[in-house]
Amino acid sequence: MSTKLYDEIPSLDLADFTSGDADKKNAFVQALGDAYNNIGFVAIKNHGLTDEMTEKLYSTIQSFFGLSDEIKQKYEVPELAGQRGYIGKGKEHAKGRTTGDLKEFYHVGQDVTDGDPIKTEYPDNIWPEELPEMETIGLEVYKTLEATGIKMLQAIALYLGLDEHYFDNKVHNGNSILRPIHYFPIENPEEVPADAVRAAEHGDINLITLLMGASADGLQVLRKDNKWIPITALPDQIIVNVGDMLSRHTNNKLKSTIHRVVNPPKELMKTSRFSIPFFMHPRSEMDLTVLDSCVDTDNPKLYDDITAGAFLHQRLAEIGLKK
Tell me if 2 is assigned to some domain.
Answer: no
Tell me if 5 is assigned to some domain.
Answer: no
pLDDT tens per residue, range 89-128? 866 555 665 566 778 999 999 999 999 999 999 999 999 9
Tell me if 3 is assigned to some domain.
Answer: no
- Which one-letter amino acid corresponds to residue 203? G
Find, among 268, 272, 303, 266, the residue nearest to 288 by Cα.
Answer: 303
Determine whether 195 is exposed, middle or buried from the number of CB atoms within 10 Å of its CB (0-12, 13-18, 19+): exposed
**Domain CATH for 230:** 2.60.120.330
Tell me if 123 is assigned to some domain.
Answer: yes
pLDDT at residue 1 in the model: 45
Per-residue pLDDT of the chain (323 residues; tens, 9 = 90+): 456 777 788 999 999 999 999 999 999 999 999 999 988 999 999 999 999 999 999 999 999 999 999 999 999 998 888 889 999 986 655 566 556 677 899 999 999 999 999 999 999 999 999 999 999 999 999 999 999 999 999 999 999 999 999 999 999 999 999 999 998 887 776 666 666 666 677 888 999 999 987 555 778 888 888 998 888 777 789 999 999 999 999 999 998 988 887 777 777 778 888 889 999 999 999 999 999 999 999 999 999 999 999 999 888 777 666 66
What angle do the packed helices 133-159 and 51-65 form, to 10 degrees?
120
Pairing of strands 104-109, 41-45: unpaired
Tell me if 292 is assigned to some domain.
Answer: yes
Note whether 125 and 84 are within 8 A (CB). Answer: yes
Tell me if 323 is assigned to some domain.
Answer: no
Domain interval for residue 308: 12-318
Tell me if 58 is assigned to some domain.
Answer: yes
Domain count, the chain: 1
Tell me if 7 is assigned to some domain.
Answer: no
